[in-house]
Chains A and B, each alone.
Chain A
Amino acid sequence: MKILVCISCVPDTTSKVTIDSSTSQISTQGLTFIVGPYDDYALSRAIELKESNGAEVIVLHVGGADSEPLIRKCLALGADSAVRIDGFPTTSSQISNSIVNYVKQNPVDLILMGKESIDYNSGIVHGLVAGALGYTHFNPVMHLDLSGDGLNLEVEMDGGKMDVFCPLPAVLGCQEPIAEWKIPSMRGIMTARTKEITVLPFESVSQIQIEKADIAETARKNKMIKAEDAEQLIELLRTETNVL
């Protein structure tokens, strides 16, 4: 079985997001990048399946050369090879088109992604890829097991969960507790050095123009109430903010 894991490389959640005034876009200065946390779950499950049942795991990222250390980390965790589509996508459709073009040339059985990227929070790339390839789509998947020629999944829905049988090929968005996050072993880090990262050109255009980014101002009141006067809170919620 061939599994493609698509990863986003995103600023660590502890980073302070700022705007670069010369471009009016999010500044990447001084930010630490990580593999998206949901994507990490997807990769961890793919590696578990490789270890338990045998599978070829390929990691794909659409982005610049700066992401290579993170792609190497995925190889150190146990992915067999990696593909980087070299460009700077600004929209979900550019990312999904790039993935779709790759898969049309290099078919796979299963595509695992995170349920959403923690920078753009769109939660749609997996659905866009599934629609364009005609693969089955489920999201967000909390448990995944192989079953005959398909998969048994536990999927979250609005207001509950469901167990489904999913045929292959499929595109899934993953979330915890699908797998345990993994730490690369020394041996993994050594062998990753010789694994291949194929770089392919980025060709996708989008009709959506990004004008600028802004920092959201969420001014909180920061009003402290003494513990002995705690009951006053209820009155303030009723009168000052009208939420009760």
Chain B
Amino acid sequence: MKKVAIIAQTKEGQLSDASKQLISYLSSFKPESIFIVALGEVKFSSIAASSSVDVVHLSDGLWCDTATVQPLVSALDGYSVFGIKSIQVDNLLSLLASISSNEFVSGIQQLQYVSGSYSINKSIFSGKASLSLKTQTASYFSFNRNFDFSGNAEFAEQPIKSSSTLTPGSASKSTIKSLKPITGSIPLPDASLVVGAGRGLKDPGNWTIVEDLAKALGAATACSKPVSDLNWRPHHEHVGQTGVKISPNLYIACGISGAIQHLAGVNGSRVVVVINNDPEAPFFKHADYGIVGDVNDILPRLTKKLQSH
């Protein structure tokens, strides 16, 4: 790895913890130079890394076709390019990789780099299996959100050597008509704690007990597909095979049966708690902690316990 680039989103001008960990992880390979491509504002002036860092910030707008991303393709020539999986990061990496005729591996769970060759473990079948692959030529890589960065070496803060803004190569023929950010709640894909609820809640009016528990924990809320199909909850909360895939530290499933299509979206969770009044619910087989009980009884008691200290 001679020259490494990282495509990272920023929030309020700062890199996410996962992006910082990725930078220190890549630093342990002692690259000649590190280049950060920021999607969003840049308000940081130093970063823990092995060498000095150049930053380029992509101006607002749509980077959605060959003509617009061309300046970035040129800027990244000769770099190995990395990112942490997200919609925008993977979309950009796939366009850039194919325009520059490089191969792209996504869904990386483990990576080793020894004398010019990458050995990669990629998660497949929604985490049910993995694939070991080797490549010397691929130069675009996207890591899963639950990639294990523990054991990273510590690096000193390095000042940013240069910082500039890159604008699209030509005005895109696509136009944004409106932006609809989800506000007021913790975005589900980023959440480290998630409370999910299913048809067992019986009525959308009963969601207060789910929201109260989520609030006491500082967790995001999620739901099963029938719940969003019934319009009890917004579509973007639906997790599973056809919805969002989450990999939080803790997932609490309330009144959800544990159908395989639901599990496909939550398998990556570190600790799973299941609360269901049916002791035969299939979800219990996939739980770290299970409570056979009525959500109307259990959830308020857990909330109260959390609020008590």
With A26-B129, A159-B182 known as contacts, the answer to whether A165 contacts B291 (CB < 8 A) is no
- With a cutoff of 8 Å between Cβ atoms, the chain B residues found around residue A196 in the complex are none
In the complex, what distance in Å separates the CA atom of A139 from the CA atom of B174? 14
- Secondary structure at the B interface, as helix, strand, loop or mixed, is mixed
* Contact residues, B180-221 vs A (CB, 8 A): 180-182, 187, 189-190, 193, 217
In the complex, what distance in Å separates the CA atom of A142 from the CA atom of B243? 11
Which residue on chain B has the smallest CB distance to residue A214? Answer: B130
- With a cutoff of 8 Å between Cβ atoms, the chain B residues found around residue A92 in the complex are 104, 106
Are A222 and B176 in contact, CB atoms less than 8 angstroms apart?
A: no
Are B125 and A121 in contact, CB atoms less than 8 angstroms apart?
A: yes
Are A209 and B134 in contact, CB atoms less than 8 angstroms apart?
A: yes
- With a cutoff of 8 Å between Cβ atoms, the chain A residues found around residue B179 in the complex are 160-162
Contact with A along B115-156 (1 / 0, CB 8 A): 000000011111111111111111000000000000000000
In the complex, what distance in Å separates the CA atom of A130 from the CA atom of B93? 12
In the complex, what distance in Å separates the CA atom of A7 from the CA atom of B272? 33
Of the listed residues A142, A150, A160, the one surrounded by the most CB atoms of chain B closer than 10 A to its CB is: A160
Residue from the list B90, B175, B290 in contact with A164, Cβ < 8 A? B175
With A130-B95, A137-B65 known as contacts, the answer to whether A158 contacts B86 (CB < 8 A) is yes
- Range, interface on chain A: 35 or more
Contact with A along B282-308 (1 / 0, CB 8 A): 001111111111100110011001100
Residue from the list B122, B270, B292 in contact with A224, Cβ < 8 A? B292
Sorted from nearest, which 10 A-B pairs have the closest CB atoms? A127-B94, A131-B98, A227-B293, A160-B181, A221-B288, A167-B173, A124-B94, A134-B66, A207-B137, A131-B95
Question: B-contacting residues of A (Cβ < 8 Å)?
Answer: 11, 13-14, 17, 19, 26, 37-38, 91-93, 96, 118-124, 126-132, 134-140, 142, 150, 152, 156-167, 175-177, 206-216, 218, 220-227, 230-231, 233-234, 236-237, 241, 243-244
Question: A-contacting residues of B (Cβ < 8 Å)?
Answer: 9, 62, 64-67, 86-88, 90-91, 93-99, 103-107, 122-138, 172-182, 187, 189-190, 193, 217, 235-236, 241-243, 249-250, 260-261, 264, 267, 270-273, 284-294, 297-298, 301-302, 305-306
What are 5 A-B contacts defined by CB distance under 8 Å? A96-B98, A120-B131, A159-B187, A224-B284, A233-B302
